[in-house]
Amino acid sequence: MPALNVEFSDRELEDLRQTAKERGTSMKALVRDAAAADIARHRALRQGEQEFRRFFAAHAAEFAAAFPDDEPPAHGGVA
């Protein structure tokens, strides 16, 4: 299995040891789980952003009618 060496400050390493001990897990598992959770969070945010953009594009006219003061000036001109 591929591996990755990660450097920590003395304080970070001590915090990592303590947290792993409190959770009853290894430092390796703690770091791997944290990385996996961050990747999943990032993926979910990206998917949410894409869904929002699709929704906004599909309802752009409704948003423009509901919030006319928030619409950009036509052709990039000054309002």
Provide DSSP, 20-69. HHHHTS-HHHHHHHHHHHHHHHHHHHHHHHHHHHHHHHHTHHHHHHH-GG
- pLDDT at position 5: 94
Evaluate whether residue 29 is within a structural domain: yes
Evaluate whether residue 78 is within a structural domain: no
Evaluate whether residue 46 is within a structural domain: yes
Evaluate whether residue 5 is within a structural domain: no
Evaluate whether residue 73 is within a structural domain: no
Q: How far apart are CA 48 and CA 36, in angstroms?
A: 18
Over residues 36-41, the mean pLDDT reads: 98
Residue 57: burial class (beta carbons within 10 Å; 0-12, 13-18, 19+): exposed
| Structural domains of the chain, count | 1
Evaluate whether residue 28 is within a structural domain: yes
Q: What is the average pLDDT value for the chain, to the nearest integer?
A: 93
- pLDDT at position 24: 98
Residue 38, domain extent = 10-68
